[in-house]
Amino acid sequence: MRERLLLLRYVLAENPVNLVALLLLVLLLGCAAVGPALVPFDPIATETAVALQPPSALHWFGTDQLGRDVFSRVVVAARLDLAIAFAAVLLSMAVGAVIGASMGYFRGPLDTIGSRTTDVLMAFPLFVLAMGMVAALGNSVSSVVYATAVINLPFYIRLSRAEVSVRRSLGYIEAARVGGSGHARILRVFLLPNILPALVVQASVNLGWAVLNTAGLSFIGLGVRAPAPEWGIMVAEGAQFIVSGRWWIATFPGLALMLAVFCFNLLGDGLRDVVDPRTRT
Amino acid sequence: MRVLRRIGGRLLASLPALLGVVVFTFLLMRVLPGDPAVFFSSGPNAGQAEIDAVRKDLGLDRPIPEQLLRYLYDVGTGNLGRSLTTGQTVVHDLGERLPASLELTLCALVLALGLALPLGILAAVRPGSAIDHAVRMVCTLGVCVPTFVSGLLLVYVFYVQFGIAPDPTGRLDIFAASPPDITGFLLIDFALVGDWEGWQAAAAQLVLPALTMALFVLAPLARMTRASMLSVLGSDFIRTARSIGLSRWRVVAVYGLRNAILPVLTIIGIVFSTMLGANVLVEKVFSWPGIGSYALDALLASDYAPVQGFVLLMAAVFVMVNLLIDVLYGIADPRVSVA
């Protein structure tokens, strides 16, 4: 544990970008956790008297067409967006790791079929797939979680399959088998914990994608629905006002989205440094 | 001959994948909520008899496996069904809108390559320099901005603020005369009839959406170019080329680039797939009359056939692009096709 902390400090000190990523993550999680309690205005209370006001000292990010405070909405939206992204990625990682690890461990025809399927899935325009799935499962938040989980699945299957195929014939697995461990125990106790770090790095990058995907879906009217504060919906609402010069309604949620994706991408790079020092750039 | 056999083999190999996509979309659309028979009978107070008639008309009263077999037969014979919202056949609708989407996507791809290759090469020639860091910055930011946000920002800056870009609605200004419909690609059609004013108008409409998409895929292309160029420039034959006194330009552009282009070609397939998906969002932002917005409208109206046709078309386009890349691969590196 102490070693890990020292390594963490070393990585943070060596590359200041990692520190930035960590601070951004704290900021985002802070918004999601305590944001709703701190924001100055009710994110869904409409007040038409102050509609479409540009940013001011009172309304930092201006107000939208219904007089709602854009700043409050952007901060509160972090909770929904991040919750969807985390849920989808965790689900995808759990299911993908089990499927991929079994494929890599047992090999055989199932592995061949599974590999071909993931190849096809990965090659397909994934956003289109997500669109179809949300429409099929019903227009709700849980459908977005499932759709996002499914389109991330191939990455975890492929990764854990590759990691397990490398390890399955190593000495310690052989030893476990000789010691009388069954397949299930070998997978659960000896293989999965060892491939976890690689999966976590992948998860961090995929979190950024999941956020983009969720926002994209709600932008075209699938999934989360108004008046819930969500970045994609806010951009969609602001889009109508861009042409008349009211930039603030769409820009600030757009910036929040960008910041979130930026943070997760940097975090992925940083975690890779911690987990696998050989690929350090 | 060998090339032809290779192409044939690849086409055959892609058939199972296409079949899988057909079955998948069929199943997906069958579990869609909403009963199209109810939706498309004359109104909310339509009688049960009328609903049943529509359902029978659509073939929805038969068992699912039979519906699937019928669907496969129809797809095989080029019949993708009829869109219930536009009243036209899906093949007709898609054919009418596909050129708009392809024109946009291909222009965006060319634009992205035109930006990414020089940037990647510059970064690789001088690693660690200011240019290298600048390229990395642009790439990192590029992947973070969602297409629908960057599109809106571009509209705000170039249309609202500077007023140099045209109204971001569709492929042509409503008052402009459209060219005769020859290929469906406006730029080509205008060029064919020699209407350069119209060509400029169409190109002006195209710039912002194409740029939006290009920015989104700039990062993977530039990054891959840089990485592969770096490793090629460090190899022995480049050192030899330098030592025998070839010009710096010749070493980089001919000996370096030709060898470095292979990994870039490979990821163009993935990039193209990403762009096909992003099409839906970009088309919505710019009111572009392409297949993405068509499928989206159909999806929201629970109109099965166009969505199935759209997904199938995406898969077909995707297979064709991969095939093309495969052929290009053989041209760029003759060793590949011999093996």
Q: How many CB pairs under 8 A join A and B?
A: 127
Inter-chain touch A125–B21, beta carbons under 8 Å: no
0.95 exceeded by pTM: no
Architecture per CATH, domain A2-26+81-279, reads as: Orthogonal Bundle (1.10)
The Cα B161–Cα B6 span in angstroms is: 52
B227 contact A CB<8A: no
pLDDT, mean of residues A226-249: 83
CATH number at residue B226: 1.10.3720.10
The Cα A114–Cα A98 span in angstroms is: 13
Whether B7 has a pLDDT exceeding 90, the answer reads no
Whether B46 has a pLDDT exceeding 70, the answer reads no
Among partner residues B281, B285, B299, which is closest to A135 by beta-carbon distance?
B299
Residue at B20 is within a domain: no
Instruction: Indicate the number of domains in chain B.
Output: 1
Residue at B255 is within a domain: yes
The alpha carbon of residue A261 is apart from the nearest alpha carbon of chain B, in Å, by 5
Whether B41 has a pLDDT exceeding 60, the answer reads no
Q: Please report, rounded to a whole number, the percentage of residues in chain B having pLDDT higher than 90.
A: 3
Out of A215-219, B59-63, B145-149, B173-177, which region has the weakest mean confidence (pLDDT)? B173-177
pLDDT, mean of residues A160-168: 84
Are B147 and B279 in contact, with CB atoms under 8 Å apart? no
Residue owning tokens 């914990």: A193
Are B262 and A112 in contact, with CB atoms under 8 Å apart? no
B149 contact A CB<8A: yes
Amino acid symbol at B172: L
Residue at B312 is within a domain: yes
CB-count exposure of residue A150 (10 Å: 0-12, 13-18, 19+): buried
What DSSP state is assigned to residue A52? Answer: T
A241 contact B CB<8A: no
pLDDT digits (tens, 9 = 90+) for B76-116: 787 777 777 788 888 888 888 888 888 899 999 999 999 99
Out of A227-231, B35-39, B271-275, which region has the weakest mean confidence (pLDDT)? B35-39
Inter-chain touch A132–B168, beta carbons under 8 Å: no
Whether A90 has a pLDDT exceeding 90, the answer reads yes
A234 contact B CB<8A: no
Which is higher by pLDDT, B117 or A139? B117
pLDDT digits (tens, 9 = 90+) for A56-85: 777 778 777 777 888 888 888 888 889 999
Residue at B47 is within a domain: no
pLDDT of residue A85: 92
Q: What is the mean pLDDT of chain A?
A: 82
Out of A25-39, A74-88, B1-15, B142-156, which region has the weakest mean confidence (pLDDT)? B1-15
Among partner residues B31, B155, B273, which is closest to A136 by beta-carbon distance?
B31
pLDDT, mean of residues B69-80: 80
Expressed as residue numbers, the domain containing B161 is 90-332
pLDDT of residue A281: 45
Q: What band does A105 get if pLDDT is binned at 50, 70 and 90? A: confident
Inter-chain touch A220–B168, beta carbons under 8 Å: no
Q: Show Cβ contacts of residue B332 under 8 Å, excluding neighbours closer than 6 positions.
A: B258, B261, B262, B265
Radius of gyration of chain B (CA): 24
